[in-house]
Amino acid sequence: MAVCHLNEDEQAIIEAIRELALERVAPRAAEIDHTGEFPWDMKELLAQQDILAMPFPTEYGGIGASELAIVMAIEELARHCATTSLLLAVQQLGATPILLAGNEGQKRKYLPPLASGEWMAAFGLTEAGSGSDAAAMRTMAVRKGDKYILNGSKRFITNGGLAQVNSLFAITDPKVGTRGISAFIVEKDFPGFSVGRIEDKMGIKGSQTAELIFTDCEVPAENLLGREGDGFKIAMMTLDRTRPGIGAQALGIAQGALDLAVSYSKQRVQFGRPIADNQGIQFMLADMAVKVEAARLLIYNVAEMIDRDEEDFSMYSSMAKLFASDAAMAVTGDAIQVLGGYGYMKEYPAERMMRDAKITQIYEGTNQIQRLVIARELLT
């Protein structure tokens, strides 16, 4: 186990989540993947156990968990069900712009129902024509009296259409590039807000990913986060802090795949002995374990940097997400190979783990963007 510095209370929380994930989450994982239906029971379970409250300060109804504890919680959930782990990761993602830039009134209004799990959160940055290139967004927000009028759409939004609270980014000044992007809190019941297509995905199938459409959507001016033009900065600060959570999701998937491969290799007999006796299998398992543990160290390290409020953690956040997601794809692929024909069948969870792992290389910044962030930090 990688070095970590949780206090006793948080250690107890993680041990409880580990047990909960094994007893309650694991038995649901295959069905969630098979039906593709949003797991409301898992959302309620995480809410009832105060797991969704982890990212929120105590003064807003949360439990004020450290970032290290949050990534460890995501890891334990993802070890059995990536979709369930995403409930916690996206609750943090959607709420972080409010935590970072919200005024006291905004925090008092929106954070308590998010901490309790009564409300869900979403983060709306990506559009059909602007993914990695956030400056290419086309959603516009025009101030009219005490309201902003939003027109445009967002694409690939996790919790889209389910979240009551959406941290949304739109252009308020098209002449100044990223400095013309602003951030807003948009409730799903605001006039002019609607949901477009629901995506049919390769993995994390129980998580709803949707298009959000804004047609003269009325947003109170008081729901502007920070000042006009702060949006791009708020979005990047948010992603720096939440990418370790996606790395933790990838880590959990990889650990689950390693667990499966080790167990199967001890039980599967070929040529009169368990395949675990074969050096070729042993070396595969060893390489898988090294990738998993290296990813864990990177993720725990940057989580503690965030907890210490260090300034220069952006590069390490990208490193952790990049390495862990690449490791998850490699480890899940090797797990399928260890299981052979059974690995390719839905009877075993290896193929689901591989499908789920793929998205961790894409969302919250593709791994190509992570390499760009790392290179720029090195070269400045």
Q: Report how far residue 168's alpha carbon sits from residue 262's, in angstroms, rounded to the nearest whole number.
A: 43
Q: Which of 59, 228, 364, 377 is catalytic?
A: 364
DSSP string, 268-332: -EETTEEGGGSHHHHHHHHHHHHHHHHHHHHHHHHHHHHHTT-S--HHHHHHHHHHHHHHHHHHH
- With H, G, I as helix, E, B as strand and everything else as coil, classify residue 46: helix
Which is it for the CA torsion 372, 373, 375, 380, positive or negative?
A: positive
Q: Report how far residue 278's alpha carbon sits from residue 105's, in angstroms, rounded to the nearest whole number.
A: 63
Closest C-alpha among 144, 215, 135 to residue 180: 135
Q: Report how far residue 139's alpha carbon sits from residue 353's, in angstroms, rounded to the nearest whole number.
A: 35
Closest C-alpha among 66, 73, 64, 69 to residue 19: 73
Q: Which residue has the tokens 């295959």?
A: 30
31 included as an active-site residue = no
Query: With contact defined as beta carbons under 8 Å apart, do 338 and 276 qualify?
Result: no
Of the CA atoms within 13 Å of residue 5, those in its CB half-sphere come to 7
Residue-wise pLDDT tens for the chain (380 aa)?
566 789 999 999 999 999 999 999 999 999 999 999 999 999 999 999 999 999 999 999 999 999 999 999 999 999 999 999 999 999 999 999 999 999 999 999 999 999 999 999 999 999 999 989 888 999 999 999 999 999 999 999 999 999 999 999 999 999 999 999 999 999 999 999 999 999 999 999 999 999 999 999 999 999 999 999 999 999 999 999 999 999 999 999 999 999 999 999 999 999 999 999 999 999 999 999 999 999 999 999 999 999 999 989 999 999 999 999 999 999 999 999 999 999 999 999 999 999 999 999 999 999 999 999 999 999 98
Closest C-alpha among 60, 69, 122, 70 to residue 91: 122
Domains located in the chain, CATH noted: 8-116 (1.10.540.10), 121-230 (2.40.110.10), 233-379 (1.20.140.10)
How many beta carbons lie within 10 A of that of residue 252, not counting itself?
31
Q: Report how far residue 199's alpha carbon sits from residue 208's, in angstroms, rounded to the nearest whole number.
A: 7
- With H, G, I as helix, E, B as strand and everything else as coil, classify residue 244: helix
Q: Report how far residue 253's alpha carbon sits from residue 249's, in angstroms, rounded to the nearest whole number.
A: 6
Q: Report how far residue 67's alpha carbon sits from residue 123's, in angstroms, rounded to the nearest whole number.
A: 19
How many beta carbons lie within 10 A of that of residue 237, not counting itself?
16
